[in-house]
A and B are shown apart, each in its own frame.
Chain A
Amino acid sequence: MVTDLIKQSVVLLGTALVLAAAANTVSPRGIPWQGQWDEGQGVVTADQAALAPTLDFEIPDAAAAHRLHVGGQVLFVDSRTTADYRAGHIPGALSLPLGEFDRRIDALRSQYAPDHPIVTYCSGRSCQDSHILAQRLFEAGYDNIAVFIDGYPGWTAEGYPIGTP
């Protein structure tokens, strides 16, 4: 009876295993068997290949982002939620949560030319929103984009000034 139970459990689990492996292989949304989950290596992601187009445009550290900020030419765009933005953001940054992109992109376009330098950021290396936002901005015509991968936590950790609305 107990061995039957174990056998049947193995059958069910084995079925799940086979289905999962097949679905993940066939599905266009499937992910690699291994992701990049080491924040020391950069942004964490289940599928590094999906982020590849933007990985070349990463700003390595907060000091480099700060230099760009001080230069004053660059528009910082905050891809976090409105609530996070209100609680504090990089001074002068524009709030553009991913979910709001379609609604707000036209307003952004009317204000900033396609060659305007843009830096996107989110909540550091555990989020990919800044990469996805960079990709979407690129698709919308902007071609001078960088991603500040240490994001808002990296900024505040260096003690740089913050903005609140």
Chain B
Amino acid sequence: MAPPEPLGRLAWIELLARWVVGLLFVLASLHKILQPAVFAQIVYSYQLFPDFSINLIAIFLPFVELVAGLALIFGIYPRAAAAIVNALLVAFMLIIAFNLMRGHEFDCGCFPTFVTRLFAESPISMLLRNVILLAFSLPLAFYRGRRRGVLFRTAAS
């Protein structure tokens, strides 16, 4: 059996990026989990999803964010977690862009208000935030080296 590939300096950057993205996703999930009825109202305000799906989105999406975030932080299937996070970020961007184009005002609901109060919440700033997050999370899905801080290692991690 070949000795394991050494951990390069890039592995530190990879770990840092995973923690940043993971922590942000956990942070983004908590207020939604604590108040599902409020989050459902926000999902409704996007005026985009069929009536039957609104409560289901409000119930399940925050836990997808939480689980993906925790998986990134603890290195549980990190590549799969990064893929989920990327898919979510791209979906969020499409949704925001669509509402921006049709001029529909909506409450992002993405982060708790103590965070969003820190900067002006416009659709453009929401999009920009997603682009920055993607810059961190997209490479995580394609990282080829050995990862640091992985709870258990699989061929796909």
Contact residues of A with B, CB < 8 Å?
Answer: 1, 4-5, 8-9, 11-13, 15-17, 19-21, 23-24, 27, 29-35, 37-38, 44-47, 50, 126, 128
Interface size class of B (residues with CB under 8 A): 35 or more
Contact A9 B83 (CB under 8 A): yes
- Given the known interface contacts A16-B64, A23-B33, A46-B58, the answer about A4 and B154 at a Cβ–Cβ threshold of 8 Å is yes
Report the minimal beta-carbon distance from A80 to chain B, rounded to whole angstroms.
15
B-side contacts of A23, CB under 8 Å: 33, 63
Q: Which residue of A lies closest to B141 (CB)?
A: A5
Contact A31 B83 (CB under 8 A): no
- Given the known interface contacts A35-B40, A37-B51, A46-B36, the answer about A16 and B60 at a Cβ–Cβ threshold of 8 Å is yes
A103 to B61: give the CA distance in the assembly, Å: 36
Q: Which residue of A lies closest to B33 (CB)?
A: A23
Contact residues of B with A, CB < 8 Å?
Answer: 33-37, 40-41, 44-45, 51-52, 54-56, 58-60, 62-64, 66-68, 71, 76-77, 79-81, 83-84, 154-157
Contact A31 B60 (CB under 8 A): no
- Given the known interface contacts A1-B155, A37-B44, A46-B55, the answer about A13 and B64 at a Cβ–Cβ threshold of 8 Å is yes
Report the minimal beta-carbon distance from A4 to chain B, rounded to whole angstroms.
4
Checking B54, B66, B154 against A16 with a beta-carbon cut-off of 8 angstroms, the contacting residue is B66
A-B pairs with beta carbons under 8 A, tally: 100
A29 to B59: give the CA distance in the assembly, Å: 11
Checking A4, A15, A38 against B67 with a beta-carbon cut-off of 8 angstroms, the contacting residue is A15
- Given the known interface contacts A16-B64, A31-B59, A33-B55, the answer about A126 and B45 at a Cβ–Cβ threshold of 8 Å is yes
Report the minimal beta-carbon distance from A42 to chain B, rounded to whole angstroms.
13
- Given the known interface contacts A1-B155, A4-B156, the answer about A12 and B71 at a Cβ–Cβ threshold of 8 Å is yes
Contact B44 A34 (CB under 8 A): no
Q: Which residue of B lies closest to A128 (CB)?
A: B41
Contact B37 A12 (CB under 8 A): no
- Given the known interface contacts A12-B68, A24-B59, A31-B58, the answer about A1 and B156 at a Cβ–Cβ threshold of 8 Å is yes
Contact A12 B80 (CB under 8 A): yes
Q: Which residue of A lies closest to B157 (CB)?
A: A8
Contact A12 B67 (CB under 8 A): yes
Report the minimal beta-carbon distance from B75 to chain A, rounded to whole angstroms.
12
Report the minimal beta-carbon distance from B60 to chain A, rounded to whole angstroms.
5
Task: Give 16 CB contacts A-B under 8 Å.
Answer: A4-B154, A5-B79, A5-B156, A8-B156, A9-B77, A9-B84, A11-B77, A12-B76, A15-B67, A16-B67, A17-B63, A30-B36, A35-B51, A37-B54, A44-B44, A46-B40
Contact A35 B54 (CB under 8 A): yes
Report the minimal beta-carbon distance from B151 to chain A, rounded to whole angstroms.
12
A34 to B58: give the CA distance in the assembly, Å: 10
A11 to B154: give the CA distance in the assembly, Å: 14
Interface centre among B58, B66, B76, B80 (most CB of A within 10 A): B80
Report the minimal beta-carbon distance from B91 to chain A, rounded to whole angstroms.
14
A20 to B59: give the CA distance in the assembly, Å: 6
